[in-house]
Structures are given as C-alpha cells and as structure tokens.
Amino acid sequence: MIVQMQPPDKANKLRRPTLDDVARLAGVGKMTVSRAINGHPYVSAEVAKRVQAAIRKLKYKPNAVAQMLTGRPSRIVGLVVPSLEDPFFSVLTQSVQETARQHNYQVWIAVSNSDVSIEKAEVDEMIGRAVEGLLLVSAKGDDPYLRSAASAGIPFVAIDRSLDKVLTDSIEVENYKGAREAVEHLIAHGRKRILCLGYDARQAPIAQRILGYRDAVQSARLPLLVEVLQDSSRALSESLDGILRKRGRIDAIFTVNNVSTLHALESLNNARIRIPSEVALIGFDDLDAWRVTNPTVTAVRQPIREIGSLAVRILLDRIQSTGKSATRTVLPTTLVLRRSCGCPAASEPRA
C-alpha cells in the first residue's frame, strides 16, 4: 500500500484561525468581529457576547502582520548597539526594553560590533520591517548612510553619540564634565603625574572625556600624559606595562571607560604596584565589580537606566508629534568615591 505523505509544511503549520473563521462561527460579518475586538462602540451587547465566545473557542489571535499592512502602527522600535558584552550597553538595552514594554512597544535589537556596514544593514532591515522609530548608538555618527535612512521619514534618537549631519533628538551624559571632575579629584589628592589611558578616541564620548582630562591637567599646570590607542583594547595592557616599568613616572591613572579600567587594574596588580599609595586610579563607568576589586575603584557613574528610559520616551514623543525641532538631552554623571583614588571610605552604602 502506498501512503501519500502530506506535504510537510502543510501538515505542520496548523493554520491559525482568522477573522473569517470567527465571523462564521459567530454567525456575523467579519466587520462586526473586527469592531468587537477593537472595542468600537456600536456593537450590540448580545452580538459582542457571541463574538467573544467564538474567539475563545477558536483561540483566535489577530494576525499582527495583516494589521500592519493596513497601516496600523507596528508598535515596534529598533535598537542598535555596538555590543552587549559591555555592561553599559546591556544595562541600557534592558532599560530600553522595560520602558518600551510599559508603553506597549516591542523592541527589535541588533548588535553592530562597531561595524558601520553591519549597522547600516541592520537599520535598513528594521526600516524595511516597519519599525516606528529607531534608537541608535552609532559606530560612526557621520556616516553618509544616515542621511538617507533619516529621509525614510522614521524618527531616530541618537544615544551616547550624536548623529552629525542628521537632525535628530539625542541623549548623552556630561562626558567632559564628568571626566574633568574625576581628574580634578585626583589633583586634589595631590597627584602630579596623571596618565589618561584608553582607546578609540574616534568615538565622541571618549574624545570628550580626554578633553576633560586635558583641561583639568593643564589648568593645574601639570604634564599631559595621554596613552590612548587607536581603536582596540588589544595592546592596552602591554603599553601600560611599559609605562609602569619605569615606576615613579606616573602617580595616578584616569581611564576613559570600564574596559580600560579593567586593564589598568590588572596591570597595576601584576606589577605589584600599590593602589592608591603608589598610583591612584579613577575610571569612567561604574561597575558592580568595582565594589569587590583590590582596592575598590572610584568611578564616574553614568545614569544608564535613565538614559535608556528617557531615550524611549523621547522617541515615542517624536513618533506622536513629528513637528517639534530636535532636542538634545544631557544627563549629569556622579563621581562614586571608593578607595582607589586615595579617599579613606566609601561614599555609598552597601548594595
């Protein structure tokens, strides 16, 4: 006996019930069902009840794809970040997702790995899939693709790095001020030879932090000691090791982000240099782990969760009313005092 196999995908994809199915079961037209579902007025109570029963029975769920095709807003926003391995971005992403959910929006996510071509592809893809707006931590804020993307008419909000030639809302922190305060704090501790350590000065926020360092040091008539690598953290420990070998050459380090801070700590520990007595340390970006390092690390804290939730609110506002001109939001940082800077005690209660 020969048994005719069902075509596999037909057999499996149990067709989802449609409006028509519900309408037929309830003995009404599909318009009535549509109205009942969308809470329109003008549906008699009795009919509404029949429709609800049919919906329950069939376990009917509206097909969101079809709804979108009729012009209904997708309630999706896209988020593109360079990486999720950096806690800054993963916490940001969590905050974005939570805030979006509170407003009944879904979040599309993509990781660009700081590669503009990936970023562009993902942004295009998102626009093609009808996101209502985009949150973008751009790898390169002035890439030409941004103009054409922006001209697609969907709103952008630039996070952490503004988009040069595109008029968009943006949100970031006081990178310059936060860095300057940190370095001034080291100076207040009597440090004279302060190294600025980091990488990827092409990123605007990093550049701002370096500027903050520079102005603080120059105002105090101290020497400028900058070791900022081009675009990778690869050689960071190595070059720092070299500097540290000549002890006494520096008496403090300001690191421009959390990865740099990690490298600095590791190099100092490996070289058995005492922190803060021999070399003090303040890093930009606060991490939970700084509470348990040796010693605990004084750091510039960014209000990450606020950045994320504000960014979403700004975007949703923009989606609502497209008229207003672009806004720029700048949030303050906090210097969290711990032991690596030379301060005696922690400024924060235990978590």
Partner DNA sequence: CTGAAAGCGCTTACAG
Using CB under 7 A, list all residues that contact DNA: 15-16, 18-20, 28-32, 34-35, 37-38, 41-44, 46-48, 62-63, 66-67, 69-72
Q: What three-state secondary structure class fits 33?
A: helix
Residue 31 near which of DNA, a copy of itself, none (CB within 5-8 Å, type-dependent): DNA
- Kindly give the pairing relationship between strand 133-136 and strand 106-111: unpaired
Q: In angstroms, give the least distance from the CB of 230 to a copy of itself.
A: 19
Give the span between the Cα atoms of 216 and 279, in whole angstroms.
Answer: 18
245 is a site residue for a copy of itself (CB under 8 A):
no
Pairing of strands 106-111, 76-81: parallel
Q: How far is the CB of 10 from DNA (least distance, A)?
A: 11
- 125-144 residues in contact with a copy of itself (CB under 8 A) are 125, 127-130
Amino acid at 115: D
Question: Count of CB atoms within 10 A of residue 51's CB?
Answer: 24
Q: Which helix (H) or strand (E) holds 120?
A: helix 116-128
Judged by CB under 8 A, the residue of 43, 111, 196, 228 near a copy of itself is 111
In this structure, are residues 9 and 50 in contact, taking their beta carbons and an 8 Å threshold? Answer: no
Binding span for a copy of itself by CB under 8 A among 32-40, 84-92, 171-179, 207-215: 84-92
Q: Which does residue 85 touch among DNA, a copy of itself, none (CB within 5 to 8 A, set by kind)?
A: a copy of itself
Long-range Cβ contacts of 157-162 (<8 Å, 24+ apart): 157/133, 157/311, 157/314, 157/315, 157/318, 159/92, 159/135, 159/307, 159/308, 159/311, 160/205, 160/307, 161/137, 161/203, 161/204, 161/205, 162/204, 162/328
DSSP H or E run through 311: helix 304-320
Residue 148 beta carbon to a copy of itself: minimum distance, rounded to whole angstroms = 7
> Which partner from the list DNA, a copy of itself, none does 42 bind, CB cut-off 5 to 8 Å by kind?
DNA
Q: How far apart are CA 199 and CA 196, in angstroms?
A: 10
- At its nearest, how many Å lie between DNA and the CB of residue 336? 49
Part in contact with a copy of itself (CB under 8 A); list of ranges 35-43, 108-116, 135-143, 160-168: 108-116
Least spacing, CB of residue 106 vs DNA, in Å: 17
Amino acid at 14: L
What 8-state DSSP symbol labels residue 336?
Answer: E
Min separation Cβ 297 and a copy of itself, Å: 9
87 binds, options DNA, a copy of itself, none, Cβ within 5 to 8 A by partner type = a copy of itself
Query: Is the Cβ of residue 71 or residue 248 nearer to DNA in the bound state?
Result: 71
Closer to DNA at the Cβ: 43 or 111? 43
According to the binding rule CB under 8 A, does residue 321 interact with a copy of itself? yes
Q: Which long-range contacts (CB under 8 A, 24 or more apart) does 344-349 make?
A: 346/296
Place of tokens 């040796």: 294
Window of 136-144, 198-206, 218-226, 290-298 that interacts with a copy of itself by CB under 8 A: 290-298
Q: Which residues bind a copy of itself (CB under 8 A)?
A: 8-9, 12-14, 16, 59, 61-66, 68-69, 74, 83-85, 87, 90-91, 93-94, 97-98, 101, 106-111, 113, 118, 122, 124-125, 127-130, 148, 151-153, 237, 262, 265-266, 269-270, 287-289, 291-295, 321-323, 350
